[in-house]
Structure 1
Amino acid sequence: MRAVCFSPDSRRLVSAQGGTARVWDLEDGRERVVLSGHSDVLHAALYVSTERIVTAAHDGTVRLWNAEDGTELRRWTLARSVRCLALSRDGRTLLAGTDAPDGFTVLDLERDEPVRRVCLEDAAHGTELITFSPDGTQVFIIEQRWRDTWHGARLCAFDFETGALQWVVAGGAEYLPWLNFSPDGEHVTCAFWKMGHGKPMTFHARTGAPLPSVRTEDVGARCVLPDGTVVKMGDGSVELHFQGGMVQEFPLPTDCGGERGRPVASPDGRYVSFRERGSVVLPLEVSTGRMGPARAHREDLRDLTFSRDGRQLLTYARDGTLRVWDCATGTELACDDLYRRFQIRHGVIDHFCLADGNMWVSAWPDVIVDVLTGTEVEADGGLRPYHVSWSGDGALVAHVRKDEAGRPAIVHDARTGQLLRRVPLPIKSDDARALSRNGRFLATWDGYRSPPEPRASIRIWDLERQTLYSEQFPSDTIPWRLQFTPDDRWFAYVDQPCTLVLVDLEHPERLRKVESPVPFWSFAFTEDSQCVALGGEDGQVRVCGLDGRLLGVLDGHRHTVYAVAFSPDGRYLASGSSDTTAVIWPRETWTRSTR
């Protein structure tokens, strides 16, 4: 995340990542506008008014956009790379810090041509930070070889009207340089150091004279709220300081803290957001510590399922929350922080199942939890909560007791805890990985075989006849990506990152293969077992027939698709991604190409 910036009314936020900028609604977390057109990585995105946004990129251009519809309004081509932006208080003048040539360019937002360029003759590094003084009469920049703290940096002050250099200090700067002014604008503090001085350093804004400072390692990025509260980045937390003392500390749920996170405050001081470290934008409500938006997952989606009537979607993410959504409107109906709820009583959630519009969790000691109702049932004879496998509809759960003689495979009814099967298996280290809906077939995974034997094997057991039904030797697969089709006719596993292998359970010597042009990380079948959806590493979902024929390609995610699920009637397909979003696709989107 290269940049984040709040709108002047503090209702929306723009983020820059990769080659695009995106506008988000702070209330519900929805993506409102995508600003796409740069040919290289964006370094800056800035609201210049509620209706307009300006972006800058490594392609050397600065672009002005309509913030409501994403239309490009104006473009300036400046240099090889534009690294930072600053806006005057009247919103008419823009400063663009550049790299090779170094310095900055002054732009009038209503004119097509740059007003002037300012560059020191001995400039050796790019402009990594640029800002106006509070009264708008000065411009401050930090020159720094990109993200390199070992080759020195310079803090420079210029007269805005003339571009004349007022003073310069040579020293070193942090990986993410930052700069703040005192309330009266007389002093400037930044993550800067020079020999014989502590860091961060404070200078007189007009003369550059260093002021006495105490040597400290507290140089983490910070910003100042309108009431004078200083927001500092801690190690996995954000700290609020007022009049020299810390008054509040909030933990950050994702990896966006520490020395490489930079806080950005909203104009009204209500929110603080963060840049760098990861791809999630997290606005923090300062008064409450609530991470917003409330109705949005904050980390990768791990699994999802439709309700039986297809009206609701359940999503579970790495942030530990289970959310229920109305499929027709996208409205969040409920949210449960399972991480906090289960950590207190059962510990970390390891094995869970989302299916048939519900979620089940196997937990210690020997219980199966219906998450939506909170009902707990005890598994007859005990349960290994960290090595279980669920049937596709979540009705059955199986595990292998490797600590008992005979290594029995045990199947329970997930709703009642009743013991249904106990079948000894001639295995050593296999774990249960997939269970058919009728409870007859169990797939186990042995990934610890020694040469010259194959590196890993998948064994399909007929628990009814107590025999080994089939054994497969994938060349490269992941053990949890195994499942039976809903009609219990086929068993599927991933061989190599791009091939789905289907084993005919009536004739296990017969195999089918469904190929994908890119690695995929999830797959799911329609209820009639006629189609399969593959969640791709490229953010696309490919829907295929079981004969391998491609039916459609669905493009809507920005990162890997880790979860896919069809509605029971086959009218909809849901996909969940590491971009934290779930998308619902109507059947027409993947059948259009076959008509």
Structure 2
Amino acid sequence: MIWTLEGHYSYVKSVSYSPDGRFIASGSDDSTVKIWDAETGRPVKTLEGHTKGVTSLSYSPDGRFIASGSYDSTVKIWEVKSGRFIWTRKGQDCVNSVSYSPDGMFIASGSANTTKIWDAETGRSVKILEGHTSSVISVAYSHDGRFIASGSTDNTIKVWLIVHEIEFDQNATINSESKDDQIIKGEAYIESLCAVTKYSEAYSTLIKEWKKDGFSIESIFSLYYFKIKDLVNKSEIIGIYPLLLDTLEGHTKSVTSVSYSPGGRFIASGSGDSTVKIWDAETGRPVKTLEGHTDCVTSVSYSPDGRFIASASWDNTVKIWEAKTGEIIKTLEGHTRGVTSVSYSPDGRFIASGSGDNTVQIWEPETGKPVKTLEGHTDRVTSVSYSPDGMFIASASWDNTVKIWMIIPEIEFDQDASIVSESKDEQIDQEQRLPNIASLIDRNDFPGAYKLIITSLAHGETNISADLYHHLDILRTKGTATGTRCVKSLSILEGHTAPITAVSFSPESNYIASASSDKTIRVWDVKTGDTAITLEGHTSYVTCVTYSPKGQIIASGSGDGDGDVILWESTTGKTVKTLKRNASEITTLTFSPDGHILCSGGMDNNVRLWEIETDNPPKTLKGLKGEVSSVSFSKDGNLLAIGTKNQVLLLDIEKGKIVKALSGQGEVTAVCFSPDSHFLAASYNNSKLLLWDYEAGKPEKEFTGHVGAVASIAFSPCGKYIVSGGMDRTVRLWNITDGKTIETLEGHKDKVNSVSYSPDGRFIASGGNDNTVRLWLIVPELEFKQ
């Protein structure tokens, strides 16, 4: 156990980690919400305003707000940073459950017999979902935000389709000659019915008939052509329209818990009738009934890959079910009283459960064996939650406390390795820490010793002294440690007085250039974090910056007058040349691999190629459809990728012709060739990040995780990873092999505008609207060299 969070004066009923894992929110029967620092365990804020116990909490996806529900019949929205409440809205009865939509725009709350949808910003009641005949005790959004599932003491689950505003051409006609075109248009018209209010009954009929066996898109289109057209022409556009798709009936007692599968295809529900049911989220049909518990099922949780379901019950057990077959894989026995809560770790390797026996158990679902029993609570544990990185578990209890537990997985060491530090200074520095490490090990404080060792391995160096290796070996055999790849915040570079628009590493990785709306470029020393040079000369905001391949020149573009590009000596900051033949604001710059050509793109829809060693006018590619957001040269310099409004264009430099257009994915924000030029990455303002096989003209892989526009992307030098920054204030590191997020780097307080990977692969730089440049250290897996 790391901390016991004490401060509540009555039962703690709800606990939740913030999306970035830095804070923990707890709701109590003492009518307060408390925010705690997850790293230190200290209370940060107490949110006071409810007049009765707090029943439910939900963080907004960006972590800036908390929604709370209470026995006092209100939903309150709090600003996390200031602790002030933004708005309060009163329902009909006790608010049992609150949940933010994945995009953060709406909040769903369950109270009395209804589910209410609120505008998260204004608190306006958007819709009341009526249909339950008894109290709604659980609400959950699907992962894509299109559906809400509500569970009730009337023994049913209802699934609601949430359709946001859709714009369509009311005068459109359908005269398709092609059957394929007819199908596509038919789908579009049926989807557009999501916006109707007066004709919702007809729409509901269409959808239900569409689902019947034997009905195809073509038959629905032909049968309902005139009805569809009439509905579209007469419909009203509104902001949000909920439609009750299905009532999931089958449980014989109260529904206590509902959970969407990760892909959103299925819903699992737990009930007082001792069963778990799996439902098809699209059709509402029951898929499986999981029988095996002998008492009320209190909690259900899908594994991150959706293959398994964990269920907790008052019969003192946790059961693991195979979602596809409904078979019991494992029964986890060890609790001596009812199990109240169950949660999978983010990687799916472990399960945490809380119980009326006052303990938290950690289980290995693959073997069914208990890994650890966490003891310390003096009353019933009501809720357990993993932190997003899986390193911590928060548990809430009737003993009025929240406890934070540190979970440290295992490291694999080479027992036969003989490790001697190559650097004498490094070895001495490490050995100075040995007494503290040895002391912690002697006291059996293995997490403390591990944490001290790991945090002391600076800058990813893995050659360590033999004595320090000896202590690591003790941890391997007696304690615990970890060997996962991670990224750590190294430093925050402050000095700009306006948003950072672009960042770029020098070829030697020892400097970072940052462009800002404060009209300056700063060059930062990576080692010290200090400003080495400030480049002043632009008369307006600086929009982009880049180093030449040899590092001798820094190029910057701005919104000056007609859009100036200035070339600077990187070591002295002296102006080398100003390129003035642009017609509008410069948006992007990049050097050719040989450094002879500088490419600029601008708001005038043109791309210019400058021979920087001559005074020749630039070659200009004119007439692009939309402003140029980004440019990138291939490894050999023969191709130039151009990001424009709705497509990525590939320009053959020698021929001066566009040879490929990659379209249909949205407004392009950034493009980047992989180091070997086998792939092209492109980001979009609709949260997409795609890896293109540009020769075939099709996307190879999609990376999903950002909320909102992805503003900037960069490949790692080895080509195995992509880093991205976006509107959601996060920097993400991706594995291009499987498309999965390796790390989500949070810390920026506003939009991230630019990211850059250092050429040596050890650092990431990011710049944002919070006026800071952040430097992140890439910590590789612990590989001990012989």
Could you tell me the TM-score, scaled by structure 1's length?
A: 0.43
Could you tell me the TM-score, scaled by structure 2's length?
A: 0.33
Report which structure shows greater RCO (CA 8 Å, sep ≥6).
2
Structure ranking higher in helix proportion? 2
